[in-house]
Chains A and B, each alone.
Chain A
Amino acid sequence: MMSEIFSVAFITGLIGATLRMSTPIILATLGEIITERSGVLNLGIEGTMLFGAALGFLTTLATGNLWLGVFVAALGGIALSLLMAVLAVYLGLSQHVSGLGITLFASGLAMFIYRLVVGSPIVPPVITPFTPVAIPLLSRIPILGGSFFTQYSLTYITWALIPLVSIFLFKTRAGLRVRTIGQNPFAADTVGVNVNLTRTLSLAAGGAFFGVAGAFLTLAHQNMFLIDVIGGRGWIAIAMTIFGNWNPLMGAVGALIFGFLDAFQLRMQTLGVDLPFHIFLMIPYLITILALISVSRKATVPAGLLKPYRREDKGG
């Protein structure tokens, strides 16, 4: 078995799969980082991803256009995040309750719309999914080139987004405002920055990321919609946000490690090790918990997270 693990084919296959498996988690983590940096915890992430997965799939099923599916999934994510903004930002309700509510609502809505469109056939409908794109020259690099540079377009875009989100947060005017509001909304308000609007826009941006992350699973990773297609990846993104200390680069590293473990456990299952497959399924989640225990005690939570901002409070 050891010789199989160390074969070139196994390793290159593992790297390729790691990059694929981590794509939706990186996307969702980046979205959650933007949102939480503005002071809002969006627990609607899991449901929003499922909603994006369903909308993206159905759009492509109807039109045959994959990119239109991605676009509609992003719009769906934005719509649900705006609902989150109404509840948690403008009405100032508990972010925990609002977010979980949206996850429950969106999961039901996704299934409802899916049934409405396709009914419940014995064989679920399928689409022709994205195919990996080999980048000329780079994919020809011996041994590793093929696994790194023969990926889905969405994976390449996701990789580009990691530095872009970093630049946005740390080098732009809007990023400074988002960070300030997440730390001290009162300070932002006193210098004339609109707290609730900035939070709403941050939520919307995050929602678009969630929607596309979900669509990746039904338009690239698989070619059909299943109710458990997200499989807790939204919750993992929440964990990765903390693991990465609200830093896009570190969050992506966390997501990549999770993707690696996920890819690894799938391969271990096929190698015929004599253990129930549930044990392998558990590995990435178990290691996520261990990683959180070791890292998150040092995490510096945005000071304004979970706190609705109100102006007319007396005594401020």
Chain B
Amino acid sequence: MEVSVLEKQAVIEMRGVTKRFVDVIANDKVDLKLYAKEVVGLLGENGAGKTTLMNVLFGYYNLDGGKLLINEKEVTFNSPKDAINNGIAMIHQHFTLVQTQTVLENAMIGMEGSFFLDKKKAKEKLLKIEKQFGLNLNPDALVWTLSIGEQQKLEILKALYRGAKILIMDEPTAVLAPTETVELFETLRTLVDSGHSIIFISHHLQEVMDICDRVIVLRNGIRVAERTVADTTIPELASLMVGRELLERLEKGESSIGEPVLEARNLKARNNRGIVAVDNLSFILREGEVLGVAGVSGNGQTELSEMLFGQVKPEEGEIFISGVEVPGGNPSEIIKTGMARIPEDRIATGLFMDLSVKENMILESHVSEPISKNGLINMKEIRDFAQNCIENFSVKTDGMDVPVKTLSGGNLQKVILARELVGKPKVVVACQPTRGLDVGAMEYVHQAMLDQKTEGAGVLLISDDLDEIFLLSDRIIVMYEGKIMGEVSSEEADRDKIGLWMSGVTS
């Protein structure tokens, strides 16, 4: 009987919550209720205001309007400390761990007790929690030695160490392999059984259907719908999230597979910690095909792309473009081959955020004719070139002279696409090309990749988004710990098998 009473009382209620940033309303009068022993999914596109709303609940942002109630009592949070004291913990998408400290130190920070650290007592407490919830980690291990899945376990342990009853999880599955996701969901169910409540942020609809009891959909900062999972479907949630019927209609186009355009032979590289990240990796990419490189991020994809882009010299192995070996670690030689390079991090490596749109567009062509002649650059040529790019790739910008940082994420990616694709490349290497983009921009990028293939280029698509890999690829290879776990044509590809490969299981 008591349980039913508990269920009626909301453990958390956000009433008309509004949060503004300088000139943007991130959340506009949003209502949200969470009951005991419940998993609520918070669904929405990038920029819909999910994370902001949760940061308000977590006391990280002050709210600009509305009310916050815990167990039906109004509260004001000025810092995360207040949220923690009310039993709320948030597990951020980017983990908040100190890599150079131990599991125990990360768990106990903020909850140390007396002036001198009592690590023995803290360790006992941590081990007890680990045992209770089946989250086994060595308390003395340094965080940087842990896998991503283990680091997430530590984040959950941190929350439980603080006695949190309410867990906010911001896209927890984005960094996990399919098997790790299964494990996480088991943990979440254990937590719910023991009386915890969970807010689960995601844009993976299947996962939301699997783990949540109820779903709240945000769009442009506004709460647009609420459904119980039993009463909704994936297509309905998708159209609620995007605000229109969602059916990505891509023109696959016809292309014929031709000569090899890019070949990697026995490539090896280390990451910045000196650990082997790419290990004896070989593949051949041919004209007119999309070769998808699947894998959970952090399995050597970044290092592979850096080698192909000429940013990093391979420790071993060779790279051939159209049958000719290219010197490693030399970006300008790669640019000369005409390879289109679409980097993983468009802000850090793809663009100079403070330079203008036109300057970003000529980054690779400013050393050659007609833009540059006798060491001088020709402004008129630059303007013509940039105008051409802006029109052909429909970049939305206040002209070519504004700093590129004033553009939206999708348009930033279009600037890169324009720069890289306008010269009709034979090889396109795209690393996580749609990461962080909204659905419309994503569609644009996908179509651009397919168009390149139709025009005869070979496209290497490195992505941790399995849907994207399946949508675009003709052939799929899976990377795990720097090695290729397997290769399969897209007709024969089966999700379960690829999921196993992604977690290092060969069958």
**Interfacial residues, chain A to chain B (CB-CB below 8 A):** 171-177, 179-180, 183-184, 186-194, 300, 303, 311-312, 314, 316
B108 contacts A by Cβ under 8 Å? yes
Contacts of A174 in B (CB 8 A): 115
Closest to B59 in A: A192
Q: Are A192 and B115 in contact (CB under 8 A)?
A: no
Q: Are A183 and B98 in contact (CB under 8 A)?
A: yes
B157 contacts A by Cβ under 8 Å? no
Among the stretches B79-87, B190-198, B280-288, B466-474, the one at the interface with A is B79-87
- B227 to chain A: closest CB distance in Å? 28
Q: Which 4 A-B pairs have the closest CB atoms?
A: A192-B81, A191-B110, A187-B96, A173-B112
B111 contacts A by Cβ under 8 Å? yes
Given contacts A179-B101, A184-B96, A187-B98, contact A193 B110 (CB under 8 A): yes
Contacts of B85 in A (CB 8 A): 192
Q: For chain B, residues 50 to 90, give those with C-beta under 8 angstroms from any C-beta of chain A.
A: 52, 55, 58, 60-61, 79-82, 84-85, 90
Q: Are B105 and A184 in contact (CB under 8 A)?
A: no
Q: For chain B, residues 105 to 152, give those with C-beta under 8 angstroms from any C-beta of chain A.
A: 105-106, 108-117
Contacts of A183 in B (CB 8 A): 98-101
Q: Are A187 and B79 in contact (CB under 8 A)?
A: no
- A143 and B436 alpha carbons, distance in the complex (Å): 71
Contacts of B101 in A (CB 8 A): 179-180, 183
- A172 and B108 alpha carbons, distance in the complex (Å): 12
Q: Tell which of A190, A194, A312 has the most Cβ of chain B within 10 Å.
A: A190
B149-177 interface code vs A (CB 8 A; 1 in, 0 out): 00000000010001000000000000000
Count the A-B residue pairs with Cβ separation under 8 angstroms: how many? Answer: 83
Q: Are A176 and B105 in contact (CB under 8 A)?
A: yes
- A175 and B60 alpha carbons, distance in the complex (Å): 24
- A193 and B109 alpha carbons, distance in the complex (Å): 8
- A183 and B98 alpha carbons, distance in the complex (Å): 6
Contacts of B97 in A (CB 8 A): 184, 187
- A311 and B56 alpha carbons, distance in the complex (Å): 12
B26 contacts A by Cβ under 8 Å? yes
- A59 and B60 alpha carbons, distance in the complex (Å): 46
B92 contacts A by Cβ under 8 Å? yes
Given contacts A172-B115, A173-B116, A176-B105, contact A190 B98 (CB under 8 A): no
- A171 and B111 alpha carbons, distance in the complex (Å): 14
Contacts of A180 in B (CB 8 A): 98, 101, 105, 109
A selection of 6 A-B contacts at a CB cut-off of 8 Å is A174-B115, A177-B109, A183-B99, A187-B98, A190-B80, A192-B80
Q: Are A312 and B61 in contact (CB under 8 A)?
A: yes
Q: Are B84 and A191 in contact (CB under 8 A)?
A: yes
- A174 and B110 alpha carbons, distance in the complex (Å): 10
Contacts of A171 in B (CB 8 A): 116-117
- B312 to chain A: closest CB distance in Å? 19
- B22 to chain A: closest CB distance in Å? 8
- A303 and B101 alpha carbons, distance in the complex (Å): 12
Given contacts A183-B100, A187-B98, A191-B162, contact A311 B112 (CB under 8 A): no
Contacts of B105 in A (CB 8 A): 176, 180
Given contacts A190-B90, A190-B92, contact A176 B99 (CB under 8 A): no
Closest to B98 in A: A183
Contacts of A177 in B (CB 8 A): 109-110, 112
Q: Are A176 and B81 in contact (CB under 8 A)?
A: no
Closest to A302 in B: B100
- A172 and B162 alpha carbons, distance in the complex (Å): 19
Q: Tell which of B101, B106, B110 has the most Cβ of chain A within 10 Å.
A: B110
Q: Are B116 and A192 in contact (CB under 8 A)?
A: no
Given contacts A176-B105, A180-B109, A183-B99, contact A190 B60 (CB under 8 A): yes
Q: Tell which of A174, A191, A194, A316 has the most Cβ of chain B within 10 Å.
A: A191
- A194 to chain B: closest CB distance in Å? 8
Q: Are B80 and A186 in contact (CB under 8 A)?
A: no
A300 in complex: contacting residue of B21, B58, B100, B106, CB < 8 Å: B100
Q: For chain B, residues 20 to 57, give those with C-beta under 8 angstroms from any C-beta of chain A.
A: 21, 24, 26, 52, 55
Closest to A186 in B: B96
Contacts of A176 in B (CB 8 A): 105, 108-109, 112, 117
- B221 to chain A: closest CB distance in Å? 12
- A164 and B61 alpha carbons, distance in the complex (Å): 38
- A250 to chain B: closest CB distance in Å? 16
Contacts of A173 in B (CB 8 A): 112-117
Contacts of A303 in B (CB 8 A): 99-100
- A96 to chain B: closest CB distance in Å? 20
- A165 to chain B: closest CB distance in Å? 15
Q: Tell which of A311, A312, A314 has the most Cβ of chain B within 10 Å.
A: A314
- A65 and B95 alpha carbons, distance in the complex (Å): 53
Closest to A182 in B: B98
Contacts of B106 in A (CB 8 A): 187
- A262 to chain B: closest CB distance in Å? 33
Identify 16 new A-B residue pairs, CB closer than 8 A, beyond the known A176-B109, A177-B112, A189-B60.
Answer: A173-B113, A176-B108, A180-B105, A184-B97, A184-B98, A187-B97, A188-B110, A190-B80, A190-B90, A190-B96, A191-B84, A303-B100, A311-B60, A314-B26, A314-B52, A316-B60
- A181 to chain B: closest CB distance in Å? 9
Q: Are A189 and B80 in contact (CB under 8 A)?
A: yes
- A183 and B101 alpha carbons, distance in the complex (Å): 9
- A303 and B111 alpha carbons, distance in the complex (Å): 22
Contacts of B24 in A (CB 8 A): 314
Closest to A167 in B: B116
Q: Are A191 and B117 in contact (CB under 8 A)?
A: no
B109 in complex: contacting residue of A191, A311, A312, A316, CB < 8 Å: A191
Contacts of B98 in A (CB 8 A): 179-180, 183-184, 187
- A184 and B97 alpha carbons, distance in the complex (Å): 7
Contacts of B116 in A (CB 8 A): 171-173
Q: Tell which of B26, B81, B82, B84 has the most Cβ of chain A within 10 Å.
A: B81
- A103 and B100 alpha carbons, distance in the complex (Å): 32
Q: Tell which of A174, A192, A194, A311 has the most Cβ of chain B within 10 Å.
A: A192
Q: Are A172 and B111 in contact (CB under 8 A)?
A: no
- A61 and B339 alpha carbons, distance in the complex (Å): 74
Contacts of B111 in A (CB 8 A): 191
Contacts of A194 in B (CB 8 A): 79
- A191 and B106 alpha carbons, distance in the complex (Å): 10
A191 in complex: contacting residue of B100, B113, B158, CB < 8 Å: B158
Given contacts A176-B105, A179-B101, A183-B100, contact A192 B114 (CB under 8 A): no
